[in-house]
Structure 1
């Protein structure tokens, strides 16, 4: 397991194996069942995680309606980071869609690690840049593309996700109803 974690984190940074081992040593493995939460809306987060196995989604729930912000598969960092650094309640849930395993680190341990080794700041910058890029792209798609084109992009970006995620979750990610998604699927099959 440690070798897989080291390999995954090395995709983001040039930290050495021993430096990554320090990160692992101050982290803990969390097993989450499907439909459980890594972070709940209203909770002040004190940790973030690295998805080892499984699948998560960031979801807002308002008046009984779900709005899926993003899907986070294996090798993704998950967090309500702005809430964690501001010490304010999260506005969304991070829900396990499948049984999942996460390497979790407390914000306090993360701060200590960054002070001891500035290379971890580079990893943080990479994580934030990736998150910002995804957010900007998603906003552009919502403003400029219709639902069918957003669905096509979803299929391209997440080629195996459709089989792992329920239709209503995909629809909420696209900003449409499950019925509208069914129509788009039928149209694309003909």
Structure 2
């Protein structure tokens, strides 16, 4: 994992927090390495921690009763990962957070974070920023799935995640787009011809 001072600097830049808050976050954090395929959070588990992706790539994935996967989102370096609503409500998560590559995360306990964040408006601004970003992504994604055709969704995927189609298996991309892998193959062939 990167040197602590480099990571602290990065967190100050990414979060907008002051150095004192980032130092406090490091005080309740532990580095965690996950191999490709391992889960940061497992569906059905009550999450108790959040993570900051230092290196690697993750996806939020739902699994239905027949074993079909539905990828909700991809998160790479400099992203926070958690099942936030499940954690806040202390209920089992509906989705898993899976490492798509060997990854490194700074993991911190939610209850410890709540303690250090009490009575500090910096943390409120940080949380609001995180939640706003997540809500914007969720709202945009819902609109795309409801209103756009598969080709348009694939074009947007390639714009938002440049190069990711080379790092991720095609069936995972298809599950993100809400289509079957065979449909994705046709769309990719059509896109290559145009």
Instruction: Note the alpha carbon deviations across 1:6-48, whole angstroms, 9 max, x for none.
Output: 3332344432223211111210111111100000010000001
CA shift, 1:116, in A, is 5.1
Alpha-carbon distance in structure 1 between the residues aligned to 2:24 and 2:108:
11
Q: Count residues with an aligned counterpart.
A: 190
Corresponding residue for residue 5 of structure 1: 7
Q: Return the alpha-carbon distance in structure 1 between the equivalents of residues 67 and 15 of structure 2.
A: 40
Q: Name the residue aligned to 1:107.
A: 110
Matched, 1:21 2:23: yes
5+ residue gaps, structure 1, are none
Q: Let me know the Cα RMSD of the aligned residues.
A: 1.2
Residue 54, structure 1, aligned to residue 56, structure 2: yes
Residue 164 of structure 1: how far off its partner (Å): 1.1
Q: Could you tell which deviates more after superposition, 1-10 or 150-159?
A: 1-10
Equivalent in the alignment of 2:36: 34
Q: Residue in 2 aligned with 1:178?
A: 181
Summarize deviations over 1:55-82 as a string: whole Å, max 9, x none. Answer: 0000001111000000010110000010
Runs of 4+ in 1 over 3 A off after TM superposition: 11-14
Q: Distance in 1 between matches of 2:6 and 2:173?
A: 29
Residue equivalent to 2:147: 144
Q: Which moved more, 1:29-38 or 1:17-26?
A: 17-26
Q: What displacement does 1:117 show?
A: 2.6
**What's the TM-score, normalizing by structure 2?**
0.94
1:97 aligns with 2:100: yes
2:14–2:78 Cα contact (<8 Å) kept: no
Q: Secondary structure at the match of 1:88?
A: coil
TM-score normalised by the chain length of structure 1: 0.96
Unaligned runs of 5+ in 2: none
